[in-house]
Amino acid sequence: MTSEKILGIDLGTTNSAFAVMERNEPEIIVNGEGDRTTPSVVAFTEDGERLVGNPAKNQAVQNPDRTIASIKRYMGDDDYTVTVDDTEYTPQQISAMILQKIKRDAEEYLGDDVDKAVITVPAYFNDRQRQATKDAGEIAGFDVKRIINEPTAASMAYGLDDDSEQTVLVLDLGGGTFDVSILDLGGGIYEVVATNGDNDLGGDDWDHAIIDWLADGFESQHGVDLLEDRQALQRLKDAAEEAKIELSSRKETTINLPFITATDSGPVHLEESLSRAKFESLTSDLIGRTVDPTEQALADAGYTADEIDEVILVGGSTRMPQVQAQVEELVSRDPRKNVNPDEAVALGAAIQGGVLAGDVDDIVLLDVTPLSLGIEVKGGLFERLIDRNTTIPTEESKVFTTAAAGQTSVQVRVFQGEREIAAENELLGEFMLSGIPPAPAGTPQIEVSFNIDENGIVNVSAEEESSGTAEEITIEGGAGLSEDEIERMQQEAEEHAEEDEQRRQLIEARNAAESAVQRAETLLEENDELIDDDLASDIDAAVEDVESVLEDEDATADELEAATQDLSEALQEIGKQAYQQQAAQAGAEGMGADPGAAGAAGDSEYVDADFEDVDDATDE
C-alpha cells in the first residue's frame, strides 16, 4: 500500500529537513537517529558501507577523503563529479543518497510507503539547478510533484495566510546559498513579486573565514600549513562551525584543538580565542554581499523598505547577530521568530504538498522565474523572451528570421541571465532547426516559444511557419540527464537500498546470535542444579553451532537466524526442567509447607523472567 501523503523536503547544503501534513497541520518528521534535521553528508567507508547523515558527519575527521558535504553547491554543474574508489558520482547521485535516507526514515516514521514529494530550492537557482534537483529526487525513487522556492515555502510555514493584505520580505541564508524574495500576501494567495540572491554565499563561507584565520595564524606561529593536511582541515571545519554557532549567543569563544599536528619537536596544539567583534570583522565582506540582492529585489518589486510589513529570516545562518542587524538596518523591521528557521522551509513544502494532495484548499501559490530567459541572436546578443520575476507557469513567443541568404538551418541557443551578451549568461541548452526553405535573408518566419512550468523548468520550441518544420527541447539540468540515465541511476539506487537492507538484517542477526550465546551461558550457570546433564550437553552443542556460524564471515542472516532459533528452543527446556524440579521439591516437603512457597517458586525469576528474556532476545 502506498501513502497518498506528499512529503515536503528541504534539501539543504548543510542540513536537510522533511515534513508532512498531519491533522491539517505541517509536522516535522524526525529521522532514524531521532533528530529533526539531517546533515547533508555522505560517506563511504573502507569496507564499502555507505553512510548518510549523522553517521557520515561523525566519522569525517577519520575519513575526510571519502566524506562528501555541501554537494548542493554543485547542483547543475556539468563538469563536477566526486570520485570514490574509481567510481564517479554526480551531484544528483550524492543528493539522491541523502534523499533516499529521507525517504526511508519518513516511511519508517509514517509506517507506509511514501513516493511523492515537494522539494525546495533556493529562489535564485537557475533552470539547470532546478532540473538537477528534480533528477536527484527521481533517482531516489520519488515522484517529484513540485519544485518550489525556499523563501516562498518559508512564508507559508509562518502562517501568513490571513485575509489581510501584507508585503513580506523573506531572507534565506543557508549553508551554501543566499536569496531574498518579496511576496504580496492576502486571502490565502502567496504571490512572489520579485526575487534575487547569490548562489555562492552561505554559512559555509563564514566557516571558511574562521578556518583561514586559524590556519594563517598557526602557520605564522609554527610554520605548518594545516590546510594541506586533510584530517587537520576537517577538524578545523568542525571547530569553525561550532565557533560560529557559539558566537551567535556569546561574545567570545575558545577554539581548542589538541594534537592538531606534529613537528620535529613533537605534538603541536591549537588554541585561540575568537571574539564576536573579530568574527564580524573577518566576515564583513560576506555580510556586505547580502545588501545588493536585497535592495535589487525591493527595486524589482517596486517597493521601498518602509512598505515592507513583515520580515522572515530562514536558514540557520540567519541566527548570526550581524545578519539580523544588517536586515534591521535595511528594512527597519524586527523579523518574525515564531518558527524555527531550520524547519520553516520543510514545513512550507509540506503545506504545498497538502495543496497538491487536496488536503489544503485555501492557499494559492504564485511563484516567479528568478532570471530572464532568451536566445542568442546575430552579433552574440541576448534577446529576452521572458523577463526575470515573471509569474510562473508562463509562456511567451517571438518571431525571428534568418541572417543570411539561402540559409536552410538555424541554431537555437537558449540562455538564462541578465547580461546583454549571450555568452556572459548561462547556456541552458541548444538545438538545430533544419529544413528551412532557401530564401533571401530576413524572409523566413521562425517562431521561438518558451514555456516555463510550475516547477520553473523550461521547454523551448522553434517552428518555421511556411514549411511547418519544427524542433523542441526540454532544458535538462546538471549533466544533462536523459530518462535512460535517470532510470539507470534509479536502479543503482534501488540496488544499493537492497544492499543496505541486507546489511542491516545481517547485523541484527549477528547481534541476536551473540545475545543468545551470552544468555545461554548465564542460564546454564544460574540453573546448574536444576537441569540434567543431557539438556546441558544439548545447549552446549547449540552454543557451539551458533559460535561456528558467527566465526564464518560469509554466513548469511538466514543461517545465523536458524542457528539462533535452535539455541533458543533448547534454552526453553531449562524453564521446563527447573519448574519440574521445584515442583518435585515442594511435593517432597509435604502438605504442611507454606501454601505460598510453591507459588513463589513457580514465579521465581529462574522461570518466568528468564523465559521472557529469551523470547525477547529471539524477537530482537
Residues of 519-533 as b/e, b for ≥16 C-beta within 10 angstroms? bbeebbeebeebbee
DSSP 436: P
Phi, psi of 235, rounded to the nearest 5 degrees? -65, -40
- Residue position matching grid coordinates 553547491: 73
* Torsion, CA 384, CA 392, CA 72, CA 216, rounded to 10: 60
Catalytic residue list contains 10 = yes
How far apart CA 266 and CA 146 sit, in angstroms, is 57
The H-or-E segment that residue 293 falls in is helix 291-301
What are the grid coordinates assigned to 488, written together?
539507470
Radius of gyration of the chain, Cα coordinates, nearest whole angstrom: 32
| Residue 581 CB coordination number (10 Å) | 17
Specify whether the CB–CB gap between 494 and 487 falls below 8 A: no
- Burial of residue 555 (CB within 10 Å: 0-12, 13-18, 19+) is middle
Rounded to whole angstroms, what are the CA distances from 10 to 301, 318, 331, 478? Answer: 26, 16, 27, 19
- Residue position matching grid coordinates 518555421: 464
Q: Among residues 127, 135, 172, 476, which one is catalytic?
A: 172
Rounded to whole angstroms, what are the CA distances from 574 to 79, 514, 532, 545, 582? Answer: 66, 19, 9, 18, 12
Q: How far is CA 6 from the centre of its chain?
A: 16
How far apart CA 198 and CA 122 sit, in angstroms, is 9
Q: Among residues 72, 134, 145, 244, which one is catalytic?
A: 72
Q: Give bridge partners of residue 38 from the DSSP assignment.
A: 16
What are the grid coordinates assigned to 609, written together?
523472567
Specify whether the CB–CB gap between 10 and 18 falls below 8 A: yes
Catalytic residue list contains 150 = yes
Phi, psi of 22, rounded to the nearest 5 degrees? -130, 125
| Residue 292 CB coordination number (10 Å) | 11
Dihedral sign of CA atoms 449, 455, 456, 458 in order: negative
Catalytic residue list contains 134 = no
Specify whether the CB–CB gap between 375 and 431 falls below 8 A: no
What amino acid occupies position 584? Answer: A
Q: Among residues 5, 10, 342, 476, which one is catalytic?
A: 10
Catalytic residue list contains 172 = yes
Q: Among residues 105, 127, 138, 150, which one is catalytic?
A: 150
Would you please indicate which residues are annotated as catalytic (active-site) residues? 10, 72, 150, 172
